[in-house]
Amino acid sequence: MRIDSIELYLVENRFYRPWRTAYGSDEGNCVLITRMRSGDHEGWSETSALSGPNYSYEYGEGMFIVARRFLAPALIGRSFESARELNAAMAHVKGTPFAKAGIEIAWWTLSADIAGVPLGKLLGGTASSVEVGDGWGIADSYDELIENIGKSFDAGYQRVKLKIAHGWDFDMLAAVRSVFPKQTIHVDCNASYSFKEDLALLRRLDRFHLAMIEQPFQTGDLYYHAKFQAMIETPVCLDETITAPWQAELAAELGSCRFVNIKPARVGGLQNTLDINRICAEAGIGCWIGGMLESDIGKAVCVEAAALPNMVYPHDITPASVSYPTCMTDVSLALNPDCTLDVSTRPGAPVRPDMEKMRKMITASARFWDDGMEWAI
């Protein structure tokens, strides 16, 4: 398949309310939207690393710059018959999995468009719908958080994910468990704790019978997560640490976790998503799909990935309308009454931008044609 053109759009959108976690507060998001064309066919993708380099060293504007300066120019006019070939052509650029995912996922949706099949079928998905959970960031009070959790369970969600941080952990969970003693709850630490300094506190979390403790220690760590998993009954889930298949292999060998939260953008795209999921399945490690506060363009791709085998836990894929007052897509994800999302039957990209809506949110763009020329706003 020949890549005839690539278009890159840097898009900003604001949340209903700030999203507060261990690494700070976000008022909105800055994402990379990519369109790739071959002949009369097109693919779309969205990648989000958040607005600043807090979750990762990558961020919105940084993704756009890497894709504009280094990735798109290296690919335009070339043909690739597999995602592995495409990824090999981007390997000269070190790291930057979010930026690479923008290109790679657009290639997958373009391939699905050419084949005339839904993306999920091309990936090998087996489910027709996927179960999703709800989640809450750091609130102003325990009462506010407990009220929000109650709304989630009343709405039919079967699990709730809570962000924790120093000063918003043990006592908060004690308050939550006093009201919701049996419900499925897990916590996400966003790499904010230290094995040496916080071990005693984290071991005490066993008493809350959590579904998992997600990424307690620093990004990239496998050693301390393995030591910690051996000390506690609660499963450890890795998120930020897993950005490539080799890390999943090492995590399995060391016993660093019992779950992996796969975010297609964080791991460099859908081929690595498939590889990491396969590695985890062979090691008996369950997977689930996480989101990065994308619009429904990115979330819909996550739904397709969530339909793969070995996806064993409700996913972080709530419709964008939960977070954003302004829609920029041609269709919107709709949550079913049983808190599931349907896997798309639409060939190619499952959700695409409405260009009239998105144009108001674009802060920068670049276009690459067959002759290698660039046009930017």
C-alpha radius of gyration, the chain, whole number: 20
DSSP, residue by residue, 55-122: SSS--HHHHHHHIIIIIHHHHTT-B-SSHHHHHHHTTTS-S-HHHHHHHHHHHHHHHHHHHTSBHHHH
Buried b (16+ CB within 10 A) or exposed e, 82-115: ebeebbebbeeeeebbbbbbbbbbbbbbbbbbbe
DSSP β-bridge partners for residue 277: none
The SS3 assignment for 184 reads strand
Beta bridge partners of 340: 131
Q: What is the DSSP string of 293-315?
A: S--HHHHHHHHHHHTSTTB-S-B
| Catalytic annotation, residues | 163, 263
Look at the block and give the residue holding tokens 């393995």.
226
Return the H-helix or E-strand segment holding 206. none
Q: Which of 154, 143, 102 is nearest to 267 (CA)?
A: 102
Q: How many residues does the chain have?
A: 377
Q: Is residue 271 packed enough to be buried (19+ CB in 10 Å), middle (13-18) or exposed (0-12)? A: buried
